[in-house]
Structure 1
């Protein structure tokens, strides 16, 4: 997936990906700003949109299924995180199922 933009936010970093159907973004922020030297920091990564379907204005009467694109990005992120030797305790929450 081609990256179209990457920028810092007050909560962390956001990466925008090229996708024709809807805006697709990956965010990552540090959850343990208080962690001291030698302590493991915790990060939260999330993908938007978090809803399984969207109804963009140009397709008002036809919902767009976000699951294939979000799933592809989640699988790629999971593979990168699990391949790094210093990253552990990876947990996924499926907001689309909620």
Structure 2
């Protein structure tokens, strides 16, 4: 289960050369994910790890019954060519959203309601993003 999330502009996050080699090409967000880690910890989350996925960067929170995380990255630039320069941090639209995954066996054996924890994580994420003066929420791209 996922929630729609947040789209925003910010000058806080640099795009690091080569960071998209760990994810899909022209997807960025390493600095965003690492910035979110202590922000979520201040809201009571024990962040287990920050790591790349093919779709972007994952900020995984500890949860006993299922996987709870914030997915984050940039909106893909489909017009970019492999040799194009990295986009400027001012031109990037960032996206992050809370998500939960229940392991297959747990789904078979019992019903796990991820809604309350997912809503709590979404609320924390909204506060974190809204309270940062260098982030401007822009809605959907």
Q: Same fold (TM over 0.5)?
A: yes
State the TM-score, normalized to the length of structure 1. Answer: 0.70
Aligned match of 1:76: 124
Runs of at least 5 residues in structure 2 that lack an aligned partner in the other structure: 1-44, 81-85
Q: Give the TM-score, by structure 2 length.
A: 0.51
CA distance in 1, matches of 2:111, 2:97: 22
Distance 1:2 1:88, change over 3 A: same
Corresponding position of 1:29:
73
CA RMSD, Structure 1 to Structure 2 (Å): 2.8
- More strand by percentage: 1
C-alpha deviations, 1:16-49, integer Å up to 9, x for none? 1110111111110111656854744211112222
Task: Structure 1 unaligned segments of length 5 or more: list them.
Answer: 93-98
Contact 1:55 1:63 in 2 (8 A): no
Ranked by relative contact order (alpha carbons within 8 Å, sequence separation 6 or more), the top structure is: 2
Report how many aligned residue pairs link the two structures. 89
